[in-house]
Amino acid sequence: MNKAIVLGSDAVNALGLVQSLGREGVYIIAVLDCKKSVLISKSKYAKEIVNVTNFEQGIDIISEKYLFEEPAVIFPAGDGAALAIEKNSSRLRGMFLFEHIVGEKGLEFYMQKQNQISIAREFNLNVPISIRVQKGGEAPDKMVYPCIVKPLVSCEGDKRDIHIAEDKTELNEILKNKINFSTEVIVQQYIDKDYEYDMMGCAYKNQEVNIPLSNRMVKFNRHLQDTSTVSYIEPLDQKITIEIHKIKKLMVKIGYVGLFSVEFMHSKTDDKIYFTEINFRNDGENSFIVHCGVNLPFLHYQDLCGFEKKIYSPITKSKKYIWEGIHFSGLIKKDQSFMSWLSDFKGVDGFLYYFKDDKKPFFYQFANKLLERLRFKK
Q: Which domains does the chain have, with CATH numbers?
A: 4-98 (3.40.50.720), 129-189 (3.30.1490.20), 193-377 (3.30.470.20)
**24-38 average pLDDT score:** 96
Q: Is the pLDDT of residue 111 over 70?
A: yes
**C-alpha to C-alpha distances, 347 to 1, 2, 210, 258, 342, nearest whole angstrom:** 39, 39, 28, 33, 11
**221-245 average pLDDT score:** 84
pLDDT, position 377: 47
pLDDT in tens, 169-187: 999 999 999 998 888 999 9
Rounded CA separation 35/238 (Å)? 47
pLDDT, position 330: 83
pLDDT, position 315: 84
pLDDT in tens, 304-316: 999 999 999 888 8
**C-alpha to C-alpha distances, 21 to 3, 29, 151, nearest whole angstrom:** 10, 11, 32
List the end-to-end C-alpha distance of the chain, in Å, as a whole number. 50
- Count of other CB atoms within 10 angstroms of residue 21: 24
Quote the Cα angle for 90-95-101, to 5°.
45
**277-303 average pLDDT score:** 94
Rounded CA separation 325/340 (Å)? 16
Do 32 and 56 touch, CB atoms closer than 8 A?
no
pLDDT, position 329: 80
Q: Is the pLDDT of residue 207 over 80?
A: yes
Count Cβ neighbours within 10 Å for each residue of 225-245 and write b for 16 or more, e otherwise.
ebbbbbbbbbeeeeebeebbe
Rounded CA separation 243/123 (Å)? 9
Count Cβ neighbours within 10 Å for each residue of 107-142 and write b for 16 or more, e otherwise.
bbebbbbebbbebbeebebbbbebbbbebebebbee
pLDDT, position 152: 85
Rounded CA separation 56/87 (Å)? 9
Specify the amino acid at residue 18: V
**C-alpha to C-alpha distances, 37 to 27, 80, 365, nearest whole angstrom:** 18, 18, 13
Rounded CA separation 280/247 (Å)? 13
pLDDT in tens, 39-95: 999 999 999 999 999 999 999 999 999 999 999 999 999 999 999 999 999 999 999
Find how far residue 55's CA is from the centre of its chain.
Answer: 18
pLDDT band at 378 (very low <50, low <70, confident <90, very high): very low
What is the pTM assigned to this prediction?
0.90
Average of per-residue pLDDT values in the chain:
91
pLDDT in tens, 112-151: 888 999 999 999 999 999 999 999 999 999 899 999 999 8
Q: Is the pLDDT of residue 217 over 70?
A: yes
Q: Is the pLDDT of residue 375 over 80?
A: no
